[in-house]
Amino acid sequence: ADEIKLLAKQAIEQLDDVLSVTIILTAHNQQPAQAQKQGSLLKPARHIVAVASGKGGVGKSTTAINLALALAAQEQRVGILDADVYGPSLPRLLGLNRKPATENKKLVPLIAWGLQAMSIGFLLEEDTPTIWRGPMVMSALQQMLRDVAWDNLDVLIIDMPPGTGDAQLTLSQRTELAGAVIVSTPQDLALIDARKGLNMFQRVNVPVLGIIENMSHFICPSCNERFDIFGHGGAAAEASRLGLPFLGEIPLDMAIRETSDAGTPIVSADPNSPYSAIYHQIAEKILVQILGQDRKAPSIVME
Ligand code: ADP
């Protein structure tokens, strides 16, 4: 700054009719949350999208993996990071229990269905409980972003732990998130929890890309009748109340449950199923939003 000040002063002094020069420098004042982020931001991918929910068991991980696969089908290089250090689910979802290799002191992500995948669950024995306190969770997460040899990722999907704890805070402060997607079941209670998650991202200036209603309804395979087991439409109503995009509804279905728990996610195992089509539509909506952040406004040429 001092150098700029001196050069500007000298340049102006040389102009005719200038008697004296006083230069004052100002800097653009950043938002507190952004200022905190400065310095050592971790950038494992061009776009990082967090998939979050207010509470466990709403199908967040199932949704995250199928969205990751749908994004990969759209010519993106996609990684998935299981940030749930207490209850990692990526080993189950991908049917993987190998230990990742180490190369140049970095963990090499496992490759499954074309995705680069990393989870604390790949490193621990299956039945070992993770008993960690907050600071350990934060440092484990930072390591998974920094010390994993993610290879030229367009998009990194982060499967967040449920709730609004240390992991959420670490990620929103140590990385530049393109946005967060909130998964909720239709019940009010889940939505109250989901709302807390929403508020948390908004407080730390992370854009919320939209809400997905999972287990939205059930079509009985024998009678074809539709049942709204957990009610229906709660997430869409909440999204419109909050002015957020509603990204879509995923039904409750055996095929999703079975493929998800067998390590063969439906978008890859059965790409032509109607459920895969739903995940593709949601992925498309997410992609438009995150790539839109990169796109420059078209310039108009007058002739
Ligand atoms: P979370 O990550 O929110 O804890 P999971 O993705 O692990 O939830 O899902 C919880 C259980 O619900 C799993 O057994 C999963 O297979 C099942 N599940 C998730 N979404 C659906 C769905 N749309 N239809 C049927 N089962 C589902």
How, if at all, do strands 106-107 and 246-250 pair? unpaired
How close is the Cα of 155 to the center of ligand 1, in Å?
A: 23
pTM of the entire predicted model? 0.82
Helical H segments across 161-298, by residue range = 166-174, 188-203, 234-242, 254-261, 266-269, 274-292
Can you give the pLDDT at residue 303? 55
| C-beta separation of 53 from 209 below 8 A | no
Q: Is the pLDDT of residue 35 over 50?
A: no
Residue 227 backbone phi and psi in degrees, to 5 = -120, 130
How, if at all, do strands 179-184 and 106-107 pair? unpaired
Of 58, 62, 261, best ligand 1 pocket probe by most atoms within 8 Å of the beta carbon: 62
**pLDDT tens profile 138-165:** 778 888 888 999 999 999 999 998 876 7
How close is the Cα of 280 to the center of ligand 1, in Å?
A: 18
Percent of the chain with pLDDT over 90: 48
d(CA 254, CA 71): 23
Q: Is 184 helix (H, G, I), strand (E, B) or coil?
A: strand
Mean pLDDT of 237-243: 85
**132 vs 81, higher pLDDT:** 81
Structure tokens at 252: 């409750």
Q: Is the pLDDT of residue 88 over 50?
A: yes
Count CB neighbours of 258 within 10 A.
Answer: 12
Mean pLDDT of 205-230: 89
